[in-house]
Amino acid sequence: MDYSIVAKEIIEKIGGVNNVSSVIHCMTRLRFTLKDESIVNDDQVKKIKGVMGVMKKGGQYQIIIGNEVSKCYKEVLKLGNFSDSANNTESSNEKQNIITKVLDVVSGSMSATMPAIIGAGMVKVLVVLLTTIGLLSNTSQTYTILSALGDATFYFLPMILVISTSKKFNINPYTFAAVIGVMVYPDFVKLLGAGSPVSFIGLPVTTASYGYSVIPVILMAWVMKYIEEIVDKITPAVTKNFLKPMLILLIAMPIAIIVIGPLGFLVGKGLSTVMYTIQDKANWIALPLMAAFMPLIVMTGMHWAFVPMALTALANPGYETLLLVAMLPSNLAQGASALAVSLKSKNKDLKQVASASSISALLAGVTEPAMYGVTIKYKKPLIASMIASGIAGLYAGIVALKVYVFATPALISIVQFIDPNGSSNFINALITAAIAIVGSFALTWIIGFDDPANEESEESLIENKMEVKEAALDKAETKSEAIILTPIEGKSVSLSQVNDITFSEEIMGKGAAIIPSKGIAVSPVNGVISALFETKHAIGITAEDGTEILIHIGLDTVKLGGKHFTAHVKSGDKVKIGDLLVEFDIEAIKREGYEVITPVLVTNSSDYKDVLSLIDKDVKEKDELIKVIM
């Protein structure tokens, strides 16, 4: 294949030389950092002869070429004076405004928590339904336990977020959990709630509640990244095992409880003061503002700052006119927007998430699943729901809508708007709800959103195309076969479990993957080292029988530049079964934020009748792993 032609077509289709900030390559793909990804038509790139696929990951536009990627890379370099820096951070994200960037970070951090949030939201719906129809008493132990199941995910959301934010900011999740754990530790919560001034080494600690919080955790994760880098530089190598984590905790904890944590609380408190001042002067202005911006208030966890004031109002004069009233159109608008997305989307996963979260918001007023799984993530539904909620809030303010019972506003609990003394208040609540639901649904449908089904994101196209059982190997009727042994001790799994379309879709060839338990790779065959990438993370071997094998240690580990890898062979070396190829530090690679799952591929699979693999079992070096049917 003439890669000079392929390279020219690639550069043309990705927006020309001027749209390329940098380019590097790994064992299988070209990795471009583009100035503006939005101008690239993925379909046109995929149609280029010699291109196997396209992937967007880690801020890079990755074009899958295959074994000949180095040839294509050389031709690409001839077309422009490109930087080959893997650390080039210039991308289309720089053209986003600050609000979009913040929403991207929040939705990215929240996406992994969706199963827990959706599950807990549906449990809360169940509790509301059972108590409403009289099958469950709110004084029973069953009610208490089910409520705990529904509430725990939200109260301990900061701890759950530690997992996803650690990955997003590439920090140690365990030390970060230790820091965030202080903010929800019972004794610390009790200390803040005692009513007396609290200080740490003479510095004041602001009284705040961190249950349900999101933004403080994300901000702290960002700060933690710099703390870890600084401490790593100042601690001597011989003390890193014990001194480094201790210093990180001692530095990060005060920052968390004295600066970062209270910051969100103070913002919410200031917002509360402003909103209630506006309410006193013009309720018809306060309510639409509160209703429209309620998703952003909930996102900070600061809607709870309004709760004490709401409870006081319900005690005297007996009704509340701001927080719970504003939450009615906001909750329903979020649910209606998610419902519109579920009906309009062609993406199966999004339809499931959106439909479940819409039920949670509409019936129980639990909006976190809808917010973090749908509206914030896809942005346009958020705008639609905020506009509709604001309009409904305007109506509620004009008619001076009141709420008489403290409960999360939703369709099931809307009876809380019934006036014990009799009035048209409940009718006005129904009208407010109708405006929010119909308006948000219609606006979301009209404005639309970027449906993942149309974006063709490779990361969402991972399918389970290969699941060969051990019995298949035993029953295979063959005349000739080649055996590839296990190069790394660990657990063998299907390629479909690899979070990279190049491997999961078998673009580079059939085989299996190994989740390593030992950082040593040995030769699985007798043959010759046909390729050893300079970053040492990938090894190509040509067996004596002509089978071409690729061992790719980890995902995206090319970015490590050889760090944590030690090669014991070089290209052209002859190897025998069991010869040491590469040593790698599993834990260090994980700490850098990379997966260590290792695909083992037969890259010339098309030359054979079939390639069968032993998966879902613990394997040791030189155990039988792959059988090639000649």
545 C-beta neighbours (distance < 10 Å), count: 14
The rounded distance, in Å, linking the Cα atoms of 374 and 433 is 20
Place of tokens 């009289």: 134
H/E stretch holding 247: helix 243-254
Query: Which tokens go with 219?
Result: 């901000």
DSSP state of 582: E
Give yes or no for a contact between 172 and 591, defined as CB atoms under 8 angstroms apart. yes
How far is CA 219 from its chain centroid? 16
Which of 63, 72, 68 is CA-nearest to residue 40? 63
Contact between 528 and 570 (Cβ < 8 Å):
no
Rounded Cα gap, residues 44 and 507, in angstroms:
18
Euclidean distance between CA atoms 289 and 270, whole angstroms? 15
All residues at 6 or more sequence positions from 39 whose CB lies less than 8 Å from its CB, including other chains:
15, 19
Given CA atoms 561, 565, 569, 572 in this order, what sign does their dihedral have? negative
Read off the DSSP letter of residue 320: B
Distance from C-alpha of 131 to C-alpha of 210, rounded to nearest angstrom: 28
Q: Can you give 194-206 as a three-state secondary structure string?
A: CCCCEEECCEEEC
The dihedrals phi and psi of 528, each to the nearest 5 degrees, come to -130, 140
Kindly give, in sequence order, each residue whose CB lies less than 8 Å from that of residue 238, ignoring residues fewer than 6 positions away.
Answer: none
Beta-bridged to residue 199, according to DSSP, are 204
Task: Give the SS3 label for residue 593.
Answer: coil
Say which residue the tokens 């991207």 belong to.
Answer: 104
**Exposed e or buried b for every residue in 10-43, given b needs 16+ CB within 10 A?**
bbebbbeeebbbbbbbbbbbbbbbbeebeebebe
Cross-strand partners of 205: 198
Number of Cβ within a 10 Å radius of residue 88? 17
Return the half-sphere exposure (C-beta side, CA atoms, 13 A cut-off) of residue 127: 25
- In angstroms, rounded to a whole number, what is the distance separating the alpha carbons of residues 432 and 331? 12
Q: Which residues belong to the active site?
A: 26
Report which residue type is found at 66: G
Q: In whole angstroms, what separates CA 300 from the centre of its chain?
A: 18
Q: Which amino acid is at 467?
A: E
Preceding peptide of 308 cis, ω within 30°: no
Distance, in Å, from the CA atom of 188 to the CA atom of 609, rounded to the nearest integer, reads 65
SS3 of residue 3 by DSSP? helix
The residue written with tokens 């790698």 in the block is 584
CB 484 within 8 A of CB 622: no
